[in-house]
Copies of this chain bind each other. A is one copy, B any other.
Amino acid sequence: MKQSKTLIPTMREVPSDIEVKSYKMLLKAGFLRPSTSGVYSYLPLSKRVLNKIEKIVREEIEAVGAIEISMATLQPRTVWEQSNRLQYFGDELFNLTDRSNRDVVLAPTNEEVVTMLVSDEVQSYKKLPLMFYQIQTKYRDEKKYRKGLLRSREFLMNDTYSFHASEESLENTYHEVTQAYTNILNRLRLSFLLVESDTQVVGGIAAKEFIIPSNEGDTIIASSNQSNYAANIEFAKVINIDEETKGTLKELEKVPTPNIKTIDDVCTFFNIEPSSCIKTLIYSMNDEFVIVLVRGDHQINEVKLKNVCKTPSLRLATEEEIYSLLNCSTGSIGPIKLPINTKVIADFSIKALQNVVAGSNEDGYHYQNVNPERDFAVNSYEDIRYIQEGDISPDGNGITQLIKGFEVGHIRKVGTYYSEKCNASFIDENDIPNALIMGSYQLGISRLFAILAEKYQDENGFVWPTHLSPYDIHLIPVNREDEGQWNLANELYNILTFYHFAVLFDDRYERAGVKFTDSDLIGLPVRVTIGKKANEGIVEVKIRSTGETFEWAKEELIDRLNEFFRTDSYH
């Protein structure tokens, strides 16, 4: 490809408000441009990298038997009502009305449509299992989209769906897809964690996430320092240690605490640790108020709370609601003397507390020497807090550490969630109708691209590995006006192309400095520079990843390049 014929608009500086490392370099090296909020144009070099990623995904997912189909992006809103998923996606769904006033949704994922498709066409266990995949543009009206391709509103995804007559069959496919995704990430040379995930959004039996560890990551993983255990903290169970109550229970005491509102204030006032306080919250769920208690040093996990309460619609009560319920402000609520019939859910850790401090439901006062059971009743103790660093690992082996990362894949044993909602059944070997059993698997292609763009760069630009690089070789005549250089460059362009190298030929009338800076930004594995020794038939070869340079005669170039690309193991 002649560089003058393609568009690689490199920049020397990017806007200072762009902080995401991948996005910054994709802009700077001329791979990407913003189109509108959270939506991007992939320029020619991006498209070449994306095509290579797609090819790897295709090969691996087809190797485990997935068949390519293509479902529509325009989906009737009614199917989302039927599956009860509107409430989970909420404002993240793009909604529109067509010219006939029908409500339409831009699909962020296709579970409903594929379930209905299979349900219409597959009646017997004999036609199962089946597995379909797509690589398709998806839509999600993200609130926090300012991260370039890490979180865009229009993005490329591989979505794969499997259908089964038995859970064993689902189990097999689930393992195969796990292996396929593992192979993909290995071929992309990305290390990852396969972590336990929440099954809440679509019900389901089990789910895992593929997480690429990164300090910039927006997902937090709890992992053990001694075992292989790792889980999304939304999901990681907390092991409850039933501590013996050791001391004596002191007498409950109401203490004036003017202007004391936060846990920090309370700790300072009473000179205690947050672990000696009870944090009391009021949630509204389905028009009912529920009192929720966690220890002062713990954070409530709303995903767990939703699962415990079996509802997706749950929110903190407003200041006004709290006033009308308890006649006090948020900072003063506590578990003692609540209105009759108020439901109280407490984290397991509350049970073992002794002589702690809690709000009094009266502004300006707190109770001290509060003791659960003696001073207040709890309807149920549950695991409703986030796991923390230092907690026992949920598998019982070792201590929990927290790691940040990016979720790039999600695999779910969905089970019969959609098939029950959509009446999708098949006839089993005994002629009995059963709900179709489903698996659902997603891999974020544009997100993977962003992560690769973050990984494969140095201070001068991208450093693409050979198997992902948009082209193999950057061919640069130092001075286009020099006839000897220009002729040799053209000769080599033809030869290299003949030998099936993908060559980017910098045929521009630019200064050498500009060409070299651009070349470093673009980051192809090998740069072949044709300079002063052109008339001797000697070129300079620079390896982008190591910075090594060589002077090679044009006659040996092909052999040496073949050798380099055959043995390159840079990653």
A567 to B132, CA, bound (A): 35
Q: Is the CB of B71 within 8 A of A44?
A: no
Set B73, B76, B120: member contacting A137, Cβ < 8 A? B73
Binary contact track A430-458/B, C-beta < 8 Å → 1, others 0: 00000000000000000000000000000
**A window 83-142: CB within 8 A of B:** 91-92, 94-96, 98-100, 102, 104, 106, 113, 117-118, 120-122, 126-127, 130-132, 137, 139, 141
In the bound complex, residues from chain B placing their C-beta under 8 Å from that of A51 are 68
**A65-B5, A121-B7 known; A100 vs B70 contact (CB < 8 Å):** no
Q: Is the CB of B126 within 8 A of A509?
A: yes
A141 to B102, CA, bound (A): 12
Is there a chain B Cβ closer than 8 Å to A502's Cβ? no
In the bound complex, residues from chain B placing their C-beta under 8 Å from that of A127 are 4
Q: Is the CB of B40 within 8 A of A72?
A: yes
In the bound complex, residues from chain B placing their C-beta under 8 Å from that of A76 are 36
Q: Which residue of B lies closest to A91 (CB)?
A: B99
**A47-B68, A137-B137 known; A41 vs B73 contact (CB < 8 Å):** no
Which among A72, A117, A121, A122 has the greatest number of chain B C-beta atoms within 10 A? A72
Is there a chain B Cβ closer than 8 Å to A35's Cβ? yes
Nearest-neighbour CB distance to chain B for A108, whole angstroms, equals 13
Which among A94, A102, A131 has the greatest number of chain B C-beta atoms within 10 A? A94
Q: How many chain copies does the complex carry?
A: 2
**A7-B130, A94-B96, A143-B99 known; A72 vs B509 contact (CB < 8 Å):** no
**A69-B43, A70-B47 known; A99 vs B141 contact (CB < 8 Å):** yes
Nearest-neighbour CB distance to chain B for A66, whole angstroms, equals 10
- Chain A contact residue count (CB 8 A cutoff): 62
Q: Is the CB of B91 within 8 A of A70?
A: no
Nearest-neighbour CB distance to chain B for A93, whole angstroms, equals 9
Nearest-neighbour CB distance to chain B for A58, whole angstroms, equals 10
Q: Is the CB of B67 within 8 A of A5?
A: yes
Is there a chain B Cβ closer than 8 Å to A154's Cβ? yes
Q: Which residue of B lies closest to A163 (CB)?
A: B7
In the bound complex, residues from chain B placing their C-beta under 8 Å from that of A67 are 1, 5-7, 44
Is there a chain B Cβ closer than 8 Å to A42's Cβ? yes
Is there a chain B Cβ closer than 8 Å to A146's Cβ? no
Is there a chain B Cβ closer than 8 Å to A75's Cβ? yes
Is there a chain B Cβ closer than 8 Å to A74's Cβ? yes
A532 to B139, CA, bound (A): 54
A241 to B46, CA, bound (A): 58
In the bound complex, residues from chain B placing their C-beta under 8 Å from that of A120 are 9, 33
In the bound complex, residues from chain B placing their C-beta under 8 Å from that of A137 are 73, 137
Q: Which residue of B lies closest to A139 (CB)?
A: B74
Set B5, B6, B96: member contacting A96, Cβ < 8 A? B96
Set B36, B46, B70: member contacting A72, Cβ < 8 A? B36
In the bound complex, residues from chain B placing their C-beta under 8 Å from that of A91 are 99
Is there a chain B Cβ closer than 8 Å to A569's Cβ? no
A6 to B72, CA, bound (A): 19
In the bound complex, residues from chain B placing their C-beta under 8 Å from that of A41 are 69-72, 113, 117
Can you give 28 A-B contacts (C-beta < 8 A)? A1-B67, A4-B127, A5-B65, A5-B131, A6-B67, A9-B122, A33-B117, A33-B120, A35-B75, A36-B75, A36-B76, A37-B98, A39-B72, A40-B72, A41-B72, A43-B69, A50-B70, A51-B68, A72-B154, A73-B154, A74-B94, A74-B154, A91-B99, A92-B99, A95-B96, A99-B141, A99-B143, A137-B137
